[in-house]
Structures are given as structure tokens and as C-alpha cells.
Structure 1
């Protein structure tokens, strides 16, 4: 049966309501895969990366045996955070509160005054709490809860052949993780990412680079957007220089030599795949109207001057795009506060937005209501 709401956006109240946000955290984000790092970011035993989101801190750690594992960054004694910072190296994890010590495989190996905890106390019962981790094409993902949903590999299966030539497993970080706070609901950032209709209106640089070639398609777990770089030189200096300097990439087929491709995965992260580099971006919910964008770029080693120039120019071009998007999402969050707005009609061309809204309504049926229900609806 056709969904009667298929042609409509999510209602405005779902972009600011604290109770709806709490349900999203439980039903959407705890079972969702979140990207942490590339395996090359933790090459040696004891190397770790952390990810903080929805009130949890997760540590992804390479063990002494070379295996990559993930745990909540929480001591099993009194709940203290164990490690600080976004990355580091620790051959043993020692809680700074009482000195409980854990091995790189999560085992509890040392407790001061162990005998004082009684005869029934066993180290084996109090190891770090494990978190599911998946290595997909060299990228490391974690998931707090398993609801039976697909793996990242299964989510990206329809696009596996397209991605294979980019050699994701061989990528290396171009810099450090960048964190950008935004005073908007997380869904607004995702909506904007999947929205192809605004490219011509709000991103003149992308329009100059891609002409009318920008496209959008939706699949069950991943949206795909793409745009070929046109041959006609752009009147903009950075864009024209990018068109000029972008060198041939030996490992890419001809049709991908000058193609920008974007993949957005449910619910809140994306890969931007260029011939010269690959960027990832996740938009992590902080509150109903606060989101933290987390992003980093990766690339294959390439010392050519032309490639260095192309990567720099890519950054300049997309810095302008990000500035334009920052203004757009702020405008939407402000407009959502108006009592005059409930839901908006979606074009048949807005396939990715339609798909996303449908998934949210499936997970949280109250998202079909045009106005917020009374307080406590999530407990009924």
C-alpha cells in the first residue's frame, strides 16, 4: 500500500522536540554504524582512536595481537572515563581514578587491593564492555546496539563495483579530524546533503563545475549523488585551476577520471569521493538543535605537483560550498520555529529526501503527526 505521507517532508516539530530527539538516540543512533577512523590511523599495538556521541565514548584499539577491537571508554569499577583525547597509544589502559588496569584486548588484569573485593571477585568478570566493530574497505565503524540491521558492507553492496577502483584500504589521512559545531538539528544537515535541487540555486561553483550533470539516486541504505567535471573552463580562478591541474589517475577507469561522487549512508555519515581524494563526514547529534560535524580527508600517496595542487584547490572549492551550506541549514532551522510551517511537499526528484523521511517514519511512527503530541508520548 502506498505511503500517504511519501510526498511530504518530516514535520517541523521533529527538528527541535526534546522527546523526539531522545527517541532518535535510542531507536536510530544506538543501532547505527558510526565511522571512527581508517585502520591506517592505528597501525601499531596500543594505538587507539575515540569517538564520543549520544552520551557514549567508544575507544577503537589495536591489540597486542594486531586485532582491532572496540570498547566503551568506561572503567568497570566506578564508571570513570579511562582515556582522554581523540587518539593516542596505550599498551595498558589504566583508569586514572583508582588504577584499575586493562589489557589491549579489554581484559581486566590489575586491581589495587584486589583481596578487599571479596573471595567472589574475579578479574575475568570485569573486562571492558565490548562494542561491535566492522572493518569495511579499511574504514573502522562501531555500533552500540545490534537491531539486526545490515553491516556496512551490506549497506554499500550496490555500490561495491564503483568504489573498488579507489583502493580505500590503501588510503592515508591527509590531515587531522576537524570538528565543526552547528546550531541545527542533525536531520537538517543530512537533508541538505541529499538535496540535489538546491545545487543550481545555492552552489554556483558546483553549477559551474558540473553544468547540468548533477544527479541523485536512492537505494535502501545508501543514497548516491554524482557530478562530472565539465571541460568548459570555469570563470572562477580556483575552479578553473582545478580543472587544469587535476592529473590522470592511473587506477581509475576513464569514466571516473573527472567524476565527483557522494554516498550518504543511513542515518548520518557520508563519503565524498573525488579522483584526487576521499573525504568522510559524519553529523553527530548533540541536542535537538545542536550537531557536531566530524570530517577528515584521505588520499593515496601521490607526490606529483599537479595532484598536490588539485587537492589544495579541491579544499578551496569545497570550503566555499561548506560556507554556503552553513548559511542554508541555519536558515532552515530558524524557519522551522515558525508556527506557520508544518510539513512541505517533496518533488518526485527529491528521491533521497523521500527515502530518508520514510525511514524515519517507519522507525518512529509519531513522525507522521503534523503537530507534536502531548508530553510523554514515547512512553505510551
Structure 2
């Protein structure tokens, strides 16, 4: 099935939901223990078994497109250095000098072929090889091949660069993404323009992520931004293992009935919107004006997360006025997410920490949330023989 056919099928389902005043429903309601959002021991297991074992989005191809480009970032307490070699390959390393453990690259971004440690001037190529030891004759004999930077599994697909934070873990992005990979490749993100990024802070990472998975809250939480455009509490879920493409019909979806059925899949952002989620921590909203890719990073405690919001435009601005417009719009979207979603999330965290509840309940209409929490539980079991969750 082509992407256009799949989108058309989703549009057909959403039209039916609107006409029949229903939505894509799970089989039953689902309780989730409050401790899953607050318990430090559960949080540490999530870090160890999910965030340090599964592929995580680390960068967009358009952030570092040229040989020599690099980016540094902190992910779940790990200092990461991403580089692009002269062969064009993206690589990832722990950003740590192998001499005495100093942070190696200090700048957030740049372009260079080698890195020199600010402590003792040990020098590394951007493919991780140790090139030189300062005053080698005095240092003593060492096998430099054992002192290269610590490599992390890294793969670049669909204009996105993924990293696994544990060295040596097997990484297979096509297998991990499954059917979602075709969708991502269809976006052609590697050809877009990178507007920039902004950071916000919020509650437990799952509280924040829950908000990206349902439109039940639109009318109450977004009365002036999303609710005037989109139906509240009507969603459609295309599920690819732990990843999802969530469809949200807009008030203009009825006009699709006047078009040939084979054209319905060509009307994303013109009758319906999609939010694409990549487990465990990425949400992508593609829009004509500006696309947002949210990268949720848990911690440093169970009650906190840091979210990096990346903004992309399909076409690069041709002048300063257009650039200023893109920057202003990205700030507006950031403020909506922060003030209308993440601030509420902090109130939810406060309520859960009060002890008033021992569990929360996800309704049949919150199918995406149910799928997400089932997959969290699956990975925390750490049992390869356990059955995968049934969507």
C-alpha cells in the first residue's frame, strides 16, 4: 500500500468518526499506577532499559549536513559528540577524552576535522581515532588503538540521526521503525531548512508524552489555538509496533466528500493533520508553515523532563524578513506547547505526587496512550520471550 493510500484510508476513517460522533476506540479502559510517574526506582529502570538501550533521535541531518560538521549534546546524563566524516558518514561518540576523562568538544556545533582536549592537548580525528599524544616521548608506551573515542551505535535514516547510548548494542533502524520508516522517508526532511531549536522543561517524561497522543484535551486546554481548527476527542491511530501516526480531523474535513476518493490521501493539513510519534520520546507535527519535531529527554529526576523543540521549513527563507517570520512563528509554537501543555503537565505532576490517587485511568478514546504505556511496560519487563503488546 502506498503512503497516499494509507493516508486516504485514515481520512476515510476520520470522516466516519466525525459523521457518527465517535473515534478510534480501544477495547476497554486502562488503569496505570501513579507510581509509574513518580517512583525513582521505576524511573531508573526506564533510563536503563529504554533510554540507554533503544535508538534515540540525536540530531537532524540538516543540522550537520557537511563533512566536518559536529554537534554536542547531553542525553540522559551522557555527553554525546556527533560528527560527520569526510566520507559523509554520521558517527557518534561519548564526548570524553580517553586520557583523563575531560569533556572533549566544548562548542555546541561547528565544523572541524579534529578535536584537541583542552586539558592535555590529546588530539582525535572526527572519526574518533586518537591522532596524537602531547609530548609522547615523555608519556610512555601505550597502544593508541585502544584509546580511541568510545563509539556509540549510530544510524542515519530519513533525514534523522539516531544514537544508542550504550556502546556495542545492536542497532537496526529499519527493523526498529518498521512501517513508520516509509512514512518518515516520504517527508524528505534532509531537504528542508533548519530554522533552529528551543528548549522547555516539564514534568515526568510520560506525562509530557501523553499529551502528544490524544486530542481529548483540545477544547479545554487549547480553546484559542487548536480547538478553533480541529475536532476535540476524535483521533485515528495507525500503529507500527511502539510508533504511531495519529490523525486529527479538522473542521474542513467534510469537503473531502466532494473530491474523488483516491485524492483524500493528498490532503494532510487540509482536512486532517497527523502527529507522528517515535517511541520512546519523539513527536513530529508536519505543517506547511513550520514543522515541529519534539525530542523529550527524561530527568534529571522522575518528576522532570527537558524537551528540545526543533523547527524546520520546507523552503529556505529568501531574505531577512522571511527568516524573522519563521523565528517569530517558532517562538509562538514553542509558547503554545509550553504554556498550554507543559504547564498543565506540571500541575498533573503535583497532583500525582500528592497521594490523592493510586492510579490514573485512560479511556477507550485514549487508545494511543494505552499503546504507549503497554510498550513502556513491555520494555521494563526486560524479557525477550514476552509477547509484544497487542495494539
| Contact 2:158–2:184 (Cα < 8 Å) also in 1 | no
For the pair 1:330 / 2:346, whether they are aligned, the reply is yes
- 2:356 maps to 340
Cα pair distance change 1:54/1:312, threshold 3 Å:
closer
| Contact 1:16–1:288 (Cα < 8 Å) also in 2 | yes
- Residue by residue over 1:213-260, the C-alpha shift from the partner in whole angstroms, topping out at 9 and shown as x without a partner, is 84142431212222244349xxxxxxxxxxxxxxxxxxx963225242
Query: How far has the Cα of 1:8 moved from its partner?
Result: 3.2
Q: CA RMSD in A?
A: 3.0
Looking at structure 2, the residues matched to 14 and 148 of structure 1 have their Cα atoms a distance apart, in angstroms, of 26
Looking at structure 1, the residues matched to 327 and 98 of structure 2 have their Cα atoms a distance apart, in angstroms, of 45
For the pair 1:127 / 2:144, whether they are aligned, the reply is no
Cα pair distance change 1:311/1:41, threshold 3 Å:
closer
Looking at structure 1, the residues matched to 337 and 100 of structure 2 have their Cα atoms a distance apart, in angstroms, of 45
- 1:180 maps to 200
- 2:103 maps to 81
For the pair 1:58 / 2:80, whether they are aligned, the reply is yes
Q: Bigger shift: 218-227 or 131-140?
A: 218-227
Cα pair distance change 1:318/1:207, threshold 3 Å:
farther
Query: How far has the Cα of 1:34 moved from its partner?
Result: 1.9
1:256 to 255, 268, 293: 268
Query: How far has the Cα of 1:361 moved from its partner?
Result: 2.0
| Contact 2:115–2:123 (Cα < 8 Å) also in 1 | yes
- 1:292 maps to 306
5+ residue gaps, structure 2: 1-27, 254-263, 383-391
Query: How far has the Cα of 1:87 moved from its partner?
Result: 1.1
Looking at structure 2, the residues matched to 270 and 112 of structure 1 have their Cα atoms a distance apart, in angstroms, of 45
Cα pair distance change 1:298/1:313, threshold 3 Å:
closer
> TM-score, length-normalised on structure 1?
0.79
| Contact 2:164–2:171 (Cα < 8 Å) also in 1 | no
- Residue by residue over 1:45-100, the C-alpha shift from the partner in whole angstroms, topping out at 9 and shown as x without a partner, is 32101220222111110113332211110011111110113212232111111111
- 1:106 maps to 128
For the pair 1:197 / 2:216, whether they are aligned, the reply is yes
- 1:374 maps to none
Looking at structure 2, the residues matched to 211 and 40 of structure 1 have their Cα atoms a distance apart, in angstroms, of 33
- Residue by residue over 1:261-284, the C-alpha shift from the partner in whole angstroms, topping out at 9 and shown as x without a partner, is 111111111111113332111111
Query: How far has the Cα of 1:317 moved from its partner?
Result: 5.8
Looking at structure 2, the residues matched to 311 and 104 of structure 1 have their Cα atoms a distance apart, in angstroms, of 31
Looking at structure 2, the residues matched to 147 and 348 of structure 1 have their Cα atoms a distance apart, in angstroms, of 40
2:282 to 245, 261, 269: 269
> TM-score, length-normalised on structure 2?
0.77
Looking at structure 2, the residues matched to 107 and 261 of structure 1 have their Cα atoms a distance apart, in angstroms, of 42
5+ residue gaps, structure 1: 1-5, 233-251, 367-380
Looking at structure 1, the residues matched to 214 and 144 of structure 2 have their Cα atoms a distance apart, in angstroms, of 52
| Contact 1:62–1:104 (Cα < 8 Å) also in 2 | yes
Looking at structure 2, the residues matched to 148 and 83 of structure 1 have their Cα atoms a distance apart, in angstroms, of 24
Cα pair distance change 1:45/1:149, threshold 3 Å:
closer
Looking at structure 1, the residues matched to 170 and 344 of structure 2 have their Cα atoms a distance apart, in angstroms, of 32
Looking at structure 2, the residues matched to 26 and 172 of structure 1 have their Cα atoms a distance apart, in angstroms, of 34
Cα pair distance change 1:10/1:85, threshold 3 Å:
farther
| Contact 2:235–2:249 (Cα < 8 Å) also in 1 | no
Cα pair distance change 1:50/1:166, threshold 3 Å:
same
- 1:72 maps to 94
Question: How is 1:22-33 mapped onto 2 (pairs within 5 angstroms)?
Answer: 22-33=44-55
- 1:375 maps to none
2:158 to 137, 150, 154: 137
Looking at structure 2, the residues matched to 34 and 161 of structure 1 have their Cα atoms a distance apart, in angstroms, of 18
Which SS does the other structure have where 2:360 is aligned?
coil
Query: How far has the Cα of 1:129 moved from its partner?
Result: 0.7
| Contact 1:80–1:97 (Cα < 8 Å) also in 2 | yes
- 1:223 maps to 244
Looking at structure 1, the residues matched to 266 and 232 of structure 2 have their Cα atoms a distance apart, in angstroms, of 20
